[in-house]
A and B are shown apart, each in its own frame.
Chain A
Amino acid sequence: MMSARMSTLASLRGDIERLEAHGDGYAPNKVALGHAGADATLRGGLAAATVHEVFSAGHQSAAATGFIAGLAGRLAPRRPLVWVRQDFSEIELGALSMSGWAELGLDPRCVVSVRAADVDTALRTAADALACDAVGAVVLELWGEVRQLDLTASRKLTLAAQASGVTGLLLRVAAQPLPSTAESRWIVRAAHSPPAAPLTLAAPGSAWGAPVFDAELVRNRHGPLGRWIMEWKCDECLFGEPAAYPQPVAAAPTHRPHQATIRAKQRRAG
Chain B
Amino acid sequence: MRCGLETGQPLANARAICPELMVFDADEVADAKILDDIADWCDRFTPLVALDPPHGLFLDITGCAHLFGGEAALLRMICGALTRHGFFVSAAIASTSVCARTLTRGSPGRIVKDGEEAEAVNPLPVSTLGADAAITTGLRRAGLKTIGDVAARAPYEITARFGGDFTTRLAHALGEGDAPISPRKPLPDYIVEKRFAEPVTTENVISITLSQLAHMLVAAMGKQGKGARRLEAGFFRTDGAVRAIVVDTGQPATKAQVIDRLFRERLEALNDPLDPGFGFDLIRLSASRTEIVVQQQRDLDANVHDNDKLADLIDRIAARIGGRRVIVHLPQDTHIPERAVWAAPAQHHLTASAQAAWPARAESEPPLRPLRLFEKPEPIKVPFATVPDGPPHHFTWRRAVHAVVRAEGPERIAMEWWKQDGEVLTRDYFRIEDEAGLRFWIYRDGLYGSELVTEEGKPAPANWFVHGLFA
- Point out residues on A near B: beta carbons under 8 Å: 60-63, 65-67, 69, 80, 82, 90-91, 93-105, 107-109, 111-117, 121, 124-125, 128-129, 132-135, 189-193, 197, 199, 201, 206-214, 232, 234-235, 247, 249, 259, 263, 267-268, 270
Contact = CB atoms under 8 A, between A and B. Distances in A.
B227 to A, nearest CB: 20
Nearest to B397: A60
Contact of A112 (B327, B365, B375): B327
Interface stretch (B5-13, B169-177, B309-317): B309-317
B358 A134 contact: no
Contacts of A232: 471
A64 B462 CA distance: 32
Contacts of A105: 361
Contacts of B469: 60, 62, 93-94
B1 interface: no
B437 A189 contact: yes
Contacts of A95: 372-375
Nearest to B430: A201
A254 to B, nearest CB: 19
Given A199-B404, A235-B363, A99 B340 contact: yes
B364 A235 contact: yes
A209 B307 contact: no
Q: Which of B367, B391, B409 lies at the interface centre, i.e. has the most chain A CB atoms within 10 A of its CB? A: B367
Contact of A113 (B327, B370, B375, B436): B327
Given A114-B326, A209-B366, A61 B406 contact: no
Contacts of B471: 62-63, 65-67, 69, 100, 104, 211, 213, 232
B307 A134 contact: yes
B371 interface: yes
B325 interface: yes
B321 A114 contact: yes
Contact of B313 (A65, A135, A267, A270): A135
B232 to A, nearest CB: 24
Contact of A111 (B329, B368, B370): B329
A249 to B, nearest CB: 6
A117 B372 contact: no
A98 B361 CA distance: 12
Contacts of B331: 98, 108
Contacts of A214: 437
B371 A100 contact: yes
Contacts of B391: 201
